[in-house]
Structure 1
Amino acid sequence: MEKYRAFAARKTADGFSAGFEQRKMEEMPEGEVTVRVAYSSVNYKDGLAATANGKVVAAYPRTLGIDLAGVVVQSSAPRFREGDSVVATGYGLGVSHDGGFAELARLPADWLVPLPESLSPKEAMALGTAGFTAALSLRRLEDNGLRPDRGPVLVTGASGGVGGIAVALLARAGYEVTASTGRASERDYLTRLGATDVIDRAALAPEKPSPLLKQRFAAAIDPVGGEGLRHVLGSLQYGGSAAVSGMAGGGEWQASVFPFILRGVNLLGIDSVACPMETRLELWRAMADEWKPAGLLTDIAQEIGFDELPERLADILRGTIRGRTVVRIGGDA
């Protein structure tokens, strides 16, 4: 194969473009392992990368896609052999290194996770960066003392990718989950995922803003950020923690020290991009086993073909997507 199909972004003095093209093998980046991509997925970051002012792509041209799962077709790294199933998320994929929206991808071996036997490539991409972020959030909360008997855990943006998987992971791990969403129509969906209670996101905001609100939640997983984080922090129980991983609601909020110094609240930053490999291996094993969400491919994820990718990238920026979108590129290995 001298060329392969890819969805790439280009920026020149004449303007910005993002679309399908035939890329040459000699254009592939450096890396010890070449993977035939079976599936990728659509993330908010991918949507930003496909726009002129997304401010996430480091250099152009760039094959987009921050996730991929597939099969090794060539490797100079002893740890991987031809035919091995692998998954990759984070690092520089789709940002500073060509990503997963392509028939072929070449990566450093240190970025690859062997696909657990109990996960198919399609299931791995139903999880993807969103699932890994949700799992990392739960692990960080438990490292900071969260246990099921502490009380309900709040999940904001529960209709989205990180939020929906977080609801399902928490439920599988035995937690009582309160799901917050701006879409009243998603109540049944979130209940199927395991939410005990579903609330409108407006219910978190008091009539009179205050840094300290009624102590309602033992912890929170917040992939939304923005001004809503102020109300999340104010609603945590004494010693509770909020794991924050996103900024769909904005990058700033009006902060107060009171939740931290009067209730001992913890604000935990969640970074799935540069997370150590040891943690990646542990969490992928957990998601393939005891934390594997029920309804992963029936309720949480929708599958689209490669040709449908541009419209879905626009949809995720519009906020009209429920759960996860898996992109079929080569299909099951």
Structure 2
Amino acid sequence: MNNFKDESFRAIRVEEVAPGKFDQLLVKRQVTDLPDNPLLLSVSHSSLNFKDAMSAFGNRSITRVYPHTPGIDAVGKVLEDRSGTFKAGTELLVTGYDLGMNAPGGLAEMVAIPPGWALPLPQGLTARESMALGTAGLTAALCIEKLLESGAVPEDGEVLVTGATGGVGSIAVALLAKLGFRVAAVTGKLEAADFLTELGAWKVLDRDTLAPFASKAMAKPLWAWAVDTVGGETLFNVIKSLAYGGGVAACGMAAGAQFHANVFPFILRGISLLGVDSVELPIGKKIAVWRQLSNEWYIGDKLSMIAEDISLEQTPEFLARLHRGHGIGRYVVNMSL
């Protein structure tokens, strides 16, 4: 970092301006403001995730100390690596670990990170495509991998995807459709039904479809498998309505971190609840999944529909949109705009 200590860069800075009130500002920062980590990247693209919105609006279960720069995803070129792991100019991809949570994140033109957090940009993906996928795409792929490992095949029947217009949900719809599954996409935004159909959804359902199951110990088996991105009571309503031997990959908590449950779906239908984490995943596993996303699971034709490009200046507006639950698809932050 010594060679770049006089460099400045733009970043989103979240500040607590009054107790419980947080502003998201575009500021100039110095490289010397960054942690003294060996790997310094010039960020070309980042992306917005719901976790970034929570951090940007003061959720201390995500970020403990403010001021702070969110952004759990970044892609860019190596400016310097004092560890000797990567050569200058190498294009690297970073998702998860502590990036954008308690370490300054990717909503900035530079990041300084441990080399163990980064992997080479997979051949077959552009920098923009890697951020159109980002943590959301990695998580969606891990969910589908869990279902496949549990024996899911298209002949089993429909796969339910909750939160289908969100980042993870929309990519899960596209990936499942590519693999030949019939996808039932659940959303609270029925005005986006055409969007989901274009991604490959076989049918689009209002999220209220699941509400009547809340008062029942079990529901009629409707779906073979599921990807749940929202958590809360929705998750167990999905579990109640899965067919015998099915399972749900669970990866989100936008609807809450808790739900009421009973044992009947597990002991009478053999249902599996499959937890998915993409944050602390070992780097070797991340590399393998990203390689898959750049090859046999490549959905570049759909990413242009899923992801919208925004500038760093626009980021506070779109973080607020995500925080209010009004986001659709993915938002790629292009530092050159």
* TM-score w.r.t. length of structure 2: 0.93
Deviates more, 1:22-31 or 1:202-211: 202-211
* Distance in 1, Cα, partners of 2:213 & 2:242: 18
Which residue in 1 is equivalent to 2:224? Answer: 218
Partner of 2:252: 246
Which position in structure 2 is the counterpart of 1:67? 73
Alpha-carbon separation, structure 1, partners of 2:24 and 2:315: 11
What amino acid sits opposite 1:223 in the alignment? T
* Selected match of 2:11 from 3, 6, 9: 6
Q: Any conservation in 2 of the 1:193–1:294 contact (CA below 8 Å)? A: no
Query: Quick check: 1:193–1:295 contact (8 Å CA) kept in 2?
Result: no
The answer on 1:323 being equivalent to 2:329 is: yes
What is the Cα-based RMSD across aligned positions, in Å?
1.8
Secondary structure of the residue aligned to 1:219 is strand
Which amino acid counterpart does residue 226 of structure 1 have in structure 2?
Answer: G
Deviations 1:146-205 (A, max 9, x none): 222222111001011110000001111221111111111111111111111111111123
- More displaced stretch, 294-303 vs 95-104: 294-303
Cα distance in 1 between the residues matched to 2:108 and 2:161: 33
Q: More displaced, 109-118 or 7-16?
A: 7-16
Amino acid at match of 1:234: K
Deviations along 1:10-36, one digit per CA (max 9) or x if unpaired, are 348877443122222112113221110
The total of aligned residue pairs comes to 331
3-state secondary structure, aligned to 1:320: coil
In the TM superposition, residue 54 of structure 1 has moved relative to its aligned partner by: 5.1
Is 1:151 aligned with 2:157? yes
Kindly provide the amino acid, as one letter, of the partner of residue 59 in structure 1. V
Deviates more, 1:302-311 or 1:242-251: 242-251
Unmatched 5+ stretches in structure 2:
1-5
8 Å CA contact 1:30–1:108 kept in 2: the answer is: no
Partner Cα separation in structure 2 for residue 137 and residue 297 of structure 1: 18
Deviations 1:44-81 (A, max 9, x none): 11111111345311323322111101111111234311
Residue identity in the other structure for 1:2 = E
Q: Which runs of 5+ in 1 are unaligned?
A: none
Deviations 1:212-265 (A, max 9, x none): 111121211111111111210011111211111111111222211111111111
Equivalent residues of 2:247, 2:274 under 8 A apart: yes
Q: Matched residues, percent identical? A: 44
Residue 97 of structure 1 corresponds to which residue in structure 2? 103
Find the residue that maps to 1:191 and give its secondary structure. helix
1:24 equivalent among 13, 30, 47: 30
- Which residue identity is paired with 1:320? H
Which is worse superposed, 56-65 or 126-135? 56-65
Offset at 1:309? 0.5
Classify the secondary structure of the residue corresponding to 1:218. strand
